[in-house]
């Protein structure tokens, strides 16, 4: 007699998996959750969620406010500060990002790659009002942003091909969704040293991005400036972004070949 395949529930998962599922219940759309919300979003029984949330709260990974709602705790922020691709990189880059902001008074970003996404680790808001309102920790697909194109263009050919062969999400009529067009954009980014993303996420914004290199020369991040598309002066923005990216790269230990 053949039965249905058994599906392992979250409660039957390992202890680390259950703990991570509790933390994974929080995101930018759900920064504050009740115990019931955590149980539902993590796929755990209320009893299991209560036990795990208690342990995480005692350690400091979660904090409970007076209304009984849970938030991510400062202890996680302290741990995250040790990540070389997170706050440590941000601290090194911040003076150069501030210089770029002072030179342009436009929106300035710093991002790293995580899988097929870019994750923003710093954002300085400029005077221009554009539709993209990035927050630290926000994610976007690599192909749809300037920083994403700069990072993808300098990744391995194998990763680029896998990415181009995947689903290219569309956000506006201008988003690159054709693999051949994306390959051309990546080749142009490598040729010029900068990436230009024109109205790909919202139809009013344009970004210019440049790669940031680490000690050995590998691209570890990307810096960009985001401006209203209607008044964008790309030839003026390119040198400013390049200078910022080069400054951060040197601060990270990169030394260009003579």
The per-residue pLDDT for 87 is 65
End-to-end CA, the chain: 73
| Domain residue ranges in the chain | 13-76, 83-250
pLDDT of 134 reads 65
* 80 Cβ neighbours under 8 A, 6+ residues apart: 86, 87
- What is the fold, at CATH topology level, of the domain defined by 13-76? Arc Repressor Mutant, subunit A (1.10.10)
The DSSP H or E segment spanning 112 is strand 107-114
pLDDT of 242 reads 95
Query: CA-to-CA distance for 143 and 175, rounded, in angstroms?
Result: 8
CATH architecture, domain 83-250 = 2-Layer Sandwich (3.30)
| pLDDT by 10s per residue, the chain, length 258 | 334 333 344 444 688 889 999 998 988 778 899 999 999 999 999 999 999 999 999 998 999 998 999 998 888 877 776 666 666 788 899 999 999 999 988 889 999 998 999 988 888 887 766 656 567 778 899 999 999 999 999 999 999 999 999 999 999 999 999 999 999 999 999 999 999 999 998 888 899 999 999 988 999 999 999 988 888 889 999 999 999 999 999 999 888 875
pLDDT of residue 231: 81
pLDDT of residue 139: 84
Task: Give how far Cα 133 sits from Cα of 63, 87, 123, 152, Å.
Answer: 27, 20, 9, 22
Looking at residue 130, what is its pLDDT?
A: 66
pTM value is 0.72
């Amino acid at each position: 007699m053949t039965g249905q395949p058994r599906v392992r529930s979250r409660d039957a998962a390992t202890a680390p998996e259950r703990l991570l599922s509790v933390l994974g219940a929080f995101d930018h759309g759900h920064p504050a959750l009740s115990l019931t919300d955590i149980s539902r979003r993590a796929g755990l029984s209320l009893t299991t969620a209560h036990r795990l949330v208690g342990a995480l709260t005692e350690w400091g990974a979660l904090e409970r406010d007076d209304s009984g709602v849970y938030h991510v705790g400062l202890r996680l922020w302290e741990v995250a500060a040790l990540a070389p691709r997170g706050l440590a990189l941000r601290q090194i880059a911040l003076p150069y990002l501030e210089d770029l902001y002072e030179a342009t008074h436009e929106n300035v970003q710093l991002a790293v790659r995580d899988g097929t996404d870019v994750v923003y680790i710093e954002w300085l808001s400029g005077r221009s009002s554009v539709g993209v309102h990035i927050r630290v920790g926000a994610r976007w697909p690599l192909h749809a942003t300037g920083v994403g194109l700069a990072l993808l263009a300098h990744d391995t050919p194998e990763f680029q091909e896998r990415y181009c062969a995947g689903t290219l999400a569309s956000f506006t009529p201008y988003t690159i969704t054709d693999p051949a067009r994306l390959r051309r954009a990546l080749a142009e980014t490598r040729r010029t040293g900068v990436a230009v993303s024109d109205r790909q996420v919202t139809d009013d914004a344009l970004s210019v991005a440049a790669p940031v290199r680490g000690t050995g020369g590998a691209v570890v991040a990307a810096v960009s400036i985001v401006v209203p598309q209607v008044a964008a002066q790309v030839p003026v923005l390119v040198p400013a972004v390049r200078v910022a990216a080069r400054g951060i790269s040197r601060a990270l230990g990169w030394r260009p070949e003579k």
